[in-house]
Amino acid sequence: MDPVLEDQTDRNDLWIGLTLKSVHELRPHTGIEEAAFRHGPWLNQTKGFVLYGILDEAEKAALFLMRIKDAVKSTREDLRSHPAWRTSLSVLMEEQQLRVRRLCESFVTAVLFGTTDEDEYYRYYVQLTEVVYYASHRGDLAEFYGRPSAWLDARCIGSLGAIFEPQR
């Protein structure tokens, strides 16, 4: 193997390992257990849920880097000239863009919450994220089927109502 590539692989292994270990060490400090996280934000403290989600994105990025490293390392030289190799790499690069975008969104979220620690703001963030999801999905359905979903409309209105209802 080329010494430059070998050095890069060693650095990648360091960052992957460091990320996975950090996520493992930090998750208990979110106050959320894996089983609870899978049930969504409404049964959990929203701050812990948001932080757990940020750690999830970091872990997904590390796991994706492992996949890329394994794909490149395990492919024989003679197969690299095949069109399927180029296509496979193209798929990985497209997924890489998704991972980069999601990781950036998570870091921005972490930075924005760096100046506040109030659970109310975390709740607003989760509710607004849900509204954006419903609105986006509603648009997709309207475009694909030619009409929106009454269920999504109701969910979106309910989520907006929850945001603007007075706090108890």
CA distance 67 to 108: 25
- pLDDT of 4 reads 45
Instruction: Map out the domains of the chain as residue ranges.
Output: 3-114, 118-168
- pLDDT of 18 reads 92
Residue 112 tokens read as 């924005």
- ∠ CA(44), CA(48), CA(50), 5° rounding? 100
- pLDDT of 19 reads 93
- pLDDT of 29 reads 95
- pLDDT of 158 reads 81
For 127-164, the pLDDT digits (tens) are 888 888 888 888 888 888 887 788 888 888 887 887 77
Q: Which among 162, 130, 134, 167 is positioned nearest to 150, based on CA atoms? A: 134
The pTM assigned to this predicted structure is: 0.78
Q: Which among 149, 116, 143 is positioned nearest to 46, based on CA atoms? A: 116
H helices present in the chain, as ranges: 3-26, 34-37, 46-74, 83-112, 119-145, 150-164
Show the low-confidence residues of the chain (pLDDT under 70). 1-10, 74-75, 166-168
